[in-house]
Structure 1
Amino acid sequence: MTSKTPATSTDAPATPGVLLAGGLARRMGGGDKPMREIGGRTILARVIARLKPQCDGLILNANGDPARFASFGLPVVPDGVADFPGPLAGILAALDWAAANRPGVAWVLSAAADCPFLPRDLVARLHAARIAENAQLAVAASGGQSHPVIGLWSVDLREQLRHALVVEDIRKIDRWTARYRLATVEWPIAPLDPFFNANTMDDIAEAERLAALDGG
């Protein structure tokens, strides 16, 4: 079910956020997409600024040398399952991190680290839809398109996710979420799509234009 009901931030329980930065940016010539700059600020800095007020702490999921992200002051958590590239492995790493480091937390938000215009009511509306629909998971959507990498994940489902990755070789998020009661929350795309992500150099140019619409 797709929800369009707004919610206030007071409805959301304490929710850590994980920024998924595992992409190789092949369409940009390699490197870390979130480190590209838009309007003089890195995409990652913009994502952090959007999510920090909404989340009870942030972590970064990235593989390789974590020192390249040291200036952001976030814990860097690599994938814990070998040879499973993709966002589900990053989500599992975040759920494992939460279970080990934040035992009182029941939910983790995931977001792509290359989406510089994320909604300021993301966490609140996902939680509101999850509660209203008695859902086990919640994901964002815009323009009629689901964005399964941006969603709420139950820490209680982490062993089921591990089994899906390791034993069943499931890598597509929507293939896994189809097993559960899923709330989908729609955001408007005017004046801009809050889930715009920068995949190519042309996207970076478009992001510069959108940043002006978004107040820089």
Structure 2
Amino acid sequence: MDPQLERQVETIRNLVDSYMSIINKCIRDLIPKTIMHLMINNVKDFINSELLAQLYSSEDQNTLMEESAEQAQRRDEMLRMYQALKEALGIIGDISTATTFTPAPPPVDDSWIQRSRRSPPPSPTTQRRPTLSTPLTRPASSRGPAPAIPSPGPHSGAPPVPFRPGPLPPFPSSSSSSSDWFGAPPQVPSRPTRAPPSVPRRPPPAVPGRPP
């Protein structure tokens, strides 16, 4: 047999096999699709034309038209929700149309209150002692601890100024008098509802070589 003829026969056989495989594959793909298409179309036609007639003929019409308890409860809930939403929308509309907006006033500057809380109020000015003709020198190391401030009474306006005793000054010379050495006592400011405490007077110390 001619080799060229054999090659042609082999080529034709391969082409026929390929064609038949393609045909078989297309048929296997189209048959399920065709069956589903026919079923869906037939069911659609049956629903549109004969379903209602079959239902009404097989069952009692009164039973079919009766509403179930679950559907009635759901329908009542939907109606109540609709009414509540309708009333809420009406109230919101009344508020938005009838309410007038007033701008808020500017904030109050209360920084002075904070400053007054941080800094204590100044004490009333007291009268200073009159200056002596001869300055007295007091050693700083001999000053004792300050006495406790007495608590004010319920009717007093402010606590009284405490009297702070100090050490005795050095003895003056014999030429100075006792009045110059002691000077005038300090004046305690008067209070509106409480009498000022009395300032005790100290006797002058004995001067050596001087008769009392």
TM-score when normalising by structure 1: 0.17
The answer to which structure has the higher helix fraction is: 2
The answer to which structure has the higher strand fraction is: 1
Query: Which structure ranks higher in relative contact order (CA pairs < 8 Å, sequence separation ≥ 6)?
Result: 1
